[in-house]
Amino acid sequence: MRIVLAEDHFLLRDGLTRLLQAYDHEVVAAVADGPELLRALTELAPDVAIVDVRLPPDFTDEGLRAAVAARRQVPGLPVLLLSQYVEPLYARELLATGSAGVGYVLKDRVTQGGEFLDSVRRVAAGGTAMDPEVVAQLLARKARDDRFGSLTAREREVLQCLAQGRSNAGIAETLCITEKAVAKHIGNIFTKLDLPQSETDNRRVLAVLAYVDR
């Protein structure tokens, strides 16, 4: 994969570059601020971008802003956000740019190499990779929505796994239940969130995005 990496901390940027290269991925640009990031994303059109939310010059949300702007210019550009803290607003703003190729993980996950690389691959392939803590807070904020209030505790767990991009088999293994039970829970989620079957939409992704409003 061709990857653009944006991280202002030199050691982390260098460490991530080495990790990605060790798995035969090409880091076509490793930048340290928002303007550099936007140029790299629009000019290089990488397979995926790994972006720190807070970048110079202001260390607020320059990384997110550059990623959102790039996805408007290059629709569907896969972006995996990195953040030190859970900021549901950032996740909602990125998800609002489209339902494919988006992710938000905490920097703590980076130390778990296999899990982090799996998230990168999933987002590059057009899937979603949401940190469990981010999903939990997003769900909590929407708890007053009648549709989500009707979900059972198990259905919420399944929805969280869906947000992480897990397959039915992966969900079954994670929750220690059968795949048949997983399929039933997912069907219930689709029904409760009013997501009818469609040939053009991915209901697994829409289920995750249903509680993300503009």
Q: Are residues 62 and 164 in the same domain?
A: no
- Residue range(s) defining the domain that contains residue 63: 2-130
**What pTM did the predictor assign?**
0.70
Higher pLDDT, 207 or 126: 126
- Nearest-angstrom CA–CA distance, 148 and 126: 25
Q: Are residues 60 and 99 in the same domain?
A: yes
CATH number for the domain that contains residue 177: 1.10.10.10
Q: Are residues 83 and 159 in the same domain?
A: no
Q: What is the pLDDT of residue 1?
A: 95
Residue 139 burial (CB count, 10 A):
18
Q: Are residues 152 and 124 in the same domain?
A: no
Residues 6+ apart with CB under 8 A from 6: 30, 31, 32, 33, 34, 36, 37, 40, 49, 50, 51, 52, 55, 63, 66
Q: 84-133, pLDDT tens digit by residue?
A: 887 767 777 777 777 678 888 888 878 777 889 999 999 999 988 888 77
What confidence tier does 24 reach under pLDDT thresholds 50, 70, 90? very high
Kindly state the average pLDDT of the residues 26-45.
Answer: 95
Q: Are residues 49 and 116 in the same domain?
A: yes
CATH number for the domain that contains residue 102: 3.40.50.2300
Q: Are residues 147 and 80 in the same domain?
A: no
Q: Are residues 124 and 148 in the same domain?
A: no
When mean pLDDT is compared over 1-15, 164-178, 184-198, the highest value belongs to 1-15
Q: What is the pLDDT of residue 147?
A: 67
Q: What is the pLDDT of residue 214?
A: 32
Q: For residues 50 and 82, is the Cβ–Cβ distance under 8 A?
A: yes
Domain final residue, candidates 130, 155, 189:
130
Q: Is residue 101 part of a domain?
A: yes
Q: 134-171, pLDDT tens digit by residue?
A: 766 666 655 555 567 788 889 988 988 887 778 899 99
Q: 50-97, pLDDT tens digit by residue?
A: 999 999 988 888 999 999 999 989 988 999 999 888 776 777 777 777
Residues 6+ apart with CB under 8 A from 94: 64, 67, 68, 79, 81, 102, 104
The kind and range of the H/E element at 122 are helix 113-124
Q: Are residues 162 and 91 in the same domain?
A: no
